[in-house]
């Protein structure tokens, strides 16, 4: 799109690209955090219909977007996977089976390309580093990946076993991600993880500043008591 001129010959500014219509609030928040420079990069699974709008938005905002040569075939219960999905299988992008494109978005093209390459190589440690996850949580992911492959890949059980308390800040409530509410976008090594707590608080502060209505809409879902597999947590 190019700047035009009005009837007096004065240059008109390029109209800003509207925020893309994404599948969830969590995706919207992560894109906001990358745009604000708080999160270095993101990996997002979207629909084919969402890709053109997202690509246009990233171009207008000066963000780099790289599309994977693969797509995700979601594994789960039909109708229950519209928001956060833990498990899927990667298949070639040109496979006739239905699937969702994978995109990598960053402030610069080098980071987006490196993130795609890390996923192509199965280098989970490098992916975690590029996505900005704490080093302790990257190690946690690697230590439990094999046993989680047999389950739902949520990493919730080992996280709960490593969590010592029963009351935590609302920003650490990753259980609500299945209701499309979260301000932390990785499974922490425990709910006591100090780097994750600082990260989640920083993210919430940015959301409150940039989109207060969005922050308010998820606040109630992050607070409260969660019962999960014999564990009980209160988020305040």
Decide: 165 and 191 in contact? Cβ < 8 Å. Answer: yes
Q: How far apart are CA 144 and CA 165, in angstroms?
A: 21
Return the pLDDT at 86: 59
Return the pLDDT at 5: 34
Q: Tell whether the model's pLDDT for residue 15 goes beyond 70.
A: no
Q: How far apart are CA 219 and CA 171, in angstroms?
A: 9
Q: How far apart are CA 196 and CA 136, in angstroms?
A: 9
Of residues 219 and 84, more confidently modeled? 219
Return the pLDDT at 108: 98
Considering all CA atoms of the chain, what is the largest pairwise distance in Å, rounded to the nearest integer?
71
Return the pLDDT at 136: 98
Render the burial of 177-187: b for 16+ CB within 10 Å, e for the rest. beebbbbbbbb
Structure tokens at 24: 């969830």
Beta-carbon-side half-sphere exposure of residue 30 (alpha carbons within 13 Å):
27
Nearest to 2 by CA among 64, 59, 44: 59
Return the pLDDT at 3: 38
Please state the rounded mean pLDDT for residues 78-103: 76
List, for residues 164-207, the tens digit of each pLDDT value. Answer: 999 999 999 999 998 999 999 999 999 999 999 999 999 999 99
Considering the chain, what is the average pLDDT of its residues?
89
Percent of the chain with pLDDT over 90: 79
Of residues 165 and 7, more confidently modeled? 165
Report residue 152's pLDDT band, with 50, 70 and 90 as the boundaries: confident
Q: What is the 3-state secondary structure (H, E, C) of 179-230?
A: HCCCCCCCCCCCCCCHHHHHHHHHHHHHHHHHCHHHHHHHHHHHCEEEEECC
Report residue 85's pLDDT band, with 50, 70 and 90 as the boundaries: low
Cβ count within 10 A of residue 140: 23
Q: Report the relative pairing of strands 64-74 and 100-106 from DSSP bridges.
A: antiparallel
Q: What is the DSSP string of 108-171?
A: SHHHHHHHHHHHHHT-HHHHHHHTT--HHHHHHHHHHHHHHHTTTS--HHHHHHT---SEE-GG
């Amino acid at each position: 799109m190019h700047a035009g001129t009005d009837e007096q010959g004065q240059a008109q500014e390029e109209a800003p690209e509207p925020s893309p219509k994404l599948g969830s609030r969590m995706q919207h928040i992560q894109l906001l955090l990358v745009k604000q420079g708080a999160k270095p990069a993101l990996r997002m699974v979207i629909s084919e219909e969402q890709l053109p709008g997202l690509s246009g938005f990233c171009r207008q905002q000066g963000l780099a977007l790289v599309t994977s040569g693969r797509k995700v075939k979601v594994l789960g219960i039909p109708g229950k996977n519209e928001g956060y999905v833990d498990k899927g299988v990667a298949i070639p992008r040109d496979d006739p089976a239905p699937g969702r494109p994978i995109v990598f978005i960053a402030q610069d093209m080098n980071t987006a390309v490196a993130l795609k390459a890390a996923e192509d190589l199965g280098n989970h440690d490098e992916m975690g580093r590029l996505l900005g996850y704490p080093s302790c949580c990257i190690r946690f992911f690697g230590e439990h990946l094999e046993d989680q492959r047999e389950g739902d890949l949520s990493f919730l059980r080992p996280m709960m076993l490593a969590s010592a308390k029963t009351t935590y800040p609302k920003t650490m409530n990753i259980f609500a991600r299945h209701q499309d509410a979260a301000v932390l976008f990785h499974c922490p090594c425990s709910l006591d993880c100090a780097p994750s707590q600082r990260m989640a608080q920083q993210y919430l502060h940015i959301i409150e500043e940039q989109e207060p209505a969005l922050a308010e809409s998820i606040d109630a879902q992050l607070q409260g008591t969660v019962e999960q597999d014999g564990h009980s947590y209160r988020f305040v």
